[in-house]
Chain A
Amino acid sequence: MSTYEELVGDMVDVLLGDDPDEVVTWAESVLEGGVAAVDFFNKVFTPAMAQIGDKFAALDIFLPELIDSAERAQAISKDVLEPIFEAEDSGAQISRGTIVICTVQGDLHDIGKNMVSLMLQVNGFDVIDMGINVPPRLALDKAKEVDADILGLSALMTTSQPYMKECVELRDGFGMKDQFAIIVGGAPITAEYTAQIGADAFGKSAVEAVEKCFALMEER
């Protein structure tokens, strides 16, 4: 049987390979070979996804490959691992948390937000992406509806920053401060601005956003 290290390498290969249908059969074959599902998740799936994230952070792969990898990993998660965990009633957690993410009102840019969304997905978060130009009330309603752990807000333009502030104010004003954290990011956003509006975290890049979300989850 291959070592876990070899399996991680194999999984990275199938995530980035030419055949999108190969991932599920590959994962099934590994489990049929005697690897326990929980070990597969912790020692193969998670480190492989971290490697994919690292490759994107180094721009060894680009956004289209990152999207493909996230989708393929999701297929393994939904089609292979989740049914086993449910049947075993093992209590094993695939998701590291639920994050609602959007570009705030007045801003129609989405590539930076998409990169963050994908990096969160490859790192095990359930991400609900609301898209662009999202008014504060809609973002808050969605976070409440899905019982999110974190609400991620992106803005590329200074003129959309006031909507971030409004979002934090409305969350706190409606008594939802303890229900979910708010992380902000985007080209003009700074740590000082984050503190000024009372958001809980700031990610200056897609990589840092993931690190900050892990930290926010630990605090919860």
Chain B
Amino acid sequence: MRHRSRLVNVLERAESGPIMKEADFERRLVTPAIKKAVETYGIEFDDSTLVPNDDDLADRIFQAGLEVAAETGMFCQDTSRRIAFTRRELEEGLRFCPGEVTMGAGTDAVVARAREPEVAERPILVGGAYGVPFPEDLFVPVMLSFAKESVVDVIENATLETVYGKPIKAASPWEVIGGWREAELSMEVIGRAGRPGMCIGCVETSPTALAEISASSWGGFRPTDWHHVSTVSELKTNYDLLAKVAHINRIGGVMESYYNPIYGGYVGGAEGVAVAVVAGSILMNQVTMAHTISTRPDHPFLGCNTTPELMWAMSVGVQALSRNTNLLVGTLVGPAGGPGTRTVLYELAAYALSMTVSGVAVLEASHTAGGAVPRHVSGLEAKMCGEVMRATSGMSRAEANELVMRLNSIYGPDLETKPIGKPFEEVYDVVNVEPTSEWRGLYDEVWDELVDMGVPLDALV
């Protein structure tokens, strides 16, 4: 693949780039660079417009992010060096980024394409438990709850709490066995769903490179699956992550790289998060050479990304990227609410609306209940995102903003209480993998409410 030809160059720069302490990288380089860029480009958070309709603002944020990316580069924790690129190199990397990618195989394959704000072509939907810890006996039911939903194009795995009843320990043989078990169970999921070629987000249980490299080989996860390479906040990588890059590169796998800036952390407030989303995405494209580039900013205390500050930052950050690049931008929703609550459905609807009209190529759902509460996620959350996404592709940002503002006023007061709801096994019949009548009933009520608000979920085409 043409966009991956710089692998050796990236690895060489990890060995030869400017040396600095990790703490200094964030504090002396990233923080000042973002502060300066926010000031230079006059970027200001506006809590009255969570889905801005301001192309100039989006373009300024893009320029700010590009400047930060060129100034900081990405830090390699193992070598204490910056993997640095010139602005011209970063721009060339963007010019030759994939622009589209086929995910999955055969009749189950889907194509993700770069989008722009307000376009009618819909994003693809990844539905899954996104690393939420699950016991082995519930892994197949919860993942099947996503794979069964027609709106879901790609599934994304839960994290196994144990393998054969034993804890999975990072960087140990347990990690290898855990990765393989995840692959076996995933194949069972897509087989039972009747979607054998469906793309699977993997290897979720791979804190180091061990599980990815072992389980993404013959008999395990396939090159057509969606292989993950994270970064470490803020803007850092390491040998384990680069080893994953090298492996996925050589097996010709579809790759996702993601970066989760922390609101209130080294990047600062909403404005800094928006700039960091752009800078991080540009750097991930350059360093990991991933097909899809995802982000999931995080609130440090609430654990969600549906607060007004983060809704704004995500919308303008995605608009900046989708207007100025062909990157396949993905975003993962992290609602504070959990399964079985109305709150989560309002949060998901608002987020899906905002991201769809902002130009996201891949919508990802869901980090329900902040993504960290064991067993607190279910397929219906992805269904809500998918239905809203399909219904609102092509909607104007101005119209979307009105709806998002209304939804935010409904769910906003609940965020502080973190209504985590119920675990999967209490909102789904785990044998037949169907939502309980109570959870489905709540879904239908909110669905009707959204239609009344003006979200055209009831359109048949």
Contact = CB atoms under 8 A, between A and B. Distances in A.
Interface of A: 56-57, 59, 62-64, 67, 105-112, 115, 132, 157-163, 165, 187-188, 190, 205-207
A187 B372 contact: yes
Which 5 A-B residue pairings sit nearest by Cβ, starting from the closest? Answer: A106-B170, A187-B372, A159-B170, A162-B169, A159-B207
Given A159-B175, A160-B207, A108 B266 contact: no
A111 B27 contact: no
A184 to B, nearest CB: 14
Contacts of B264: 56, 59, 62-63
Quick one: which of A57, A59, A64, A107 has the most chain B CB within 10 A?
A: A64
A158 B266 contact: no
Contacts of B262: 63, 111
Quick one: which of B27, B168, B207, B208 has the most chain A CB within 10 A?
A: B207
Nearest to B370: A187
5 contacts: A105-B170, A106-B208, A109-B233, A163-B169, A190-B374
A62 B269 contact: yes
A187 B303 contact: yes
A111 B175 contact: no
Given A57-B301, A111-B265, A188-B133, A106 B238 contact: no
Contacts of B371: 187
A67 B77 CA distance: 21
Nearest to A112: B300
A64 B268 contact: yes
Contact of B167 (A107, A109, A162): A162
B347 interface: no
A157 B159 CA distance: 10
Nearest to A58: B301
A2 to B, nearest CB: 31
Given A106-B171, A107-B207, A115 B300 contact: yes
B161 interface: yes
A158 B168 contact: yes
B294 interface: no
Contact of B205 (A107, A159, A187): A159
A104 to B, nearest CB: 9
A108 B300 CA distance: 17
A134 to B, nearest CB: 13
User: Chain B binding site: helix, strand, loop or mixed by DSSP?
Assistant: loop
B261 to A, nearest CB: 10
A181 to B, nearest CB: 23
B169 A111 contact: no
A106 B31 contact: no
Given A111-B234, A205-B301, A64 B161 contact: no
Task: Report the contact-size class of chain B (Cβ under 8 Å from the partner).
Answer: 35 or more
Contacts of A132: 77
A105 B207 CA distance: 11
Interface in B226-270: 232-234, 236, 238, 240, 262-266, 268-269
A108 B35 CA distance: 25
A100 B344 CA distance: 38
Interface in B368-407: 370-372, 374
B159 A158 contact: yes
Contacts of B170: 105-107, 157, 159-160, 163
Contacts of A56: 264
A64 B31 contact: yes
B133 A108 contact: no
Interface in B169-228: 169-171, 175, 178, 205, 207-208
A88 B292 CA distance: 64
Contacts of A205: 301
Interface in B129-184: 133, 159, 161, 167-171, 175, 178
Contacts of B205: 159
Given A157-B207, A158-B161, A106 B232 contact: no
Contacts of B238: 108
Contact of A62 (B22, B133, B265): B265
B36 to A, nearest CB: 13
Given A132-B77, A160-B170, A187-B371, 5 more contacts: A63-B265, A111-B266, A111-B300, A115-B300, A158-B159
Nearest to B299: A59
Contacts of B372: 187-188
A56 B262 CA distance: 14
A106 B205 CA distance: 12
Contacts of B374: 188, 190
B77 to A, nearest CB: 6
Nearest to B159: A158
Quick one: which of A62, A67, A160 has the most chain B CB within 10 A?
A: A62
Contact of A158 (B31, B133, B232, B300): B133
A24 B207 CA distance: 44
Contact of A106 (B169, B263, B269): B169
A27 B268 CA distance: 29
B33 to A, nearest CB: 12
B386 to A, nearest CB: 26
A74 to B, nearest CB: 15
A127 B183 CA distance: 42
Interface string B21-39: 0100001000100000000
Contacts of A187: 303, 370-372
A49 B195 CA distance: 57
A63 B272 CA distance: 12
Nearest to A158: B133
B274 to A, nearest CB: 14
A141 to B, nearest CB: 20
A187 B268 CA distance: 21
Contact of A63 (B168, B207, B236, B266): B266
A95 to B, nearest CB: 22
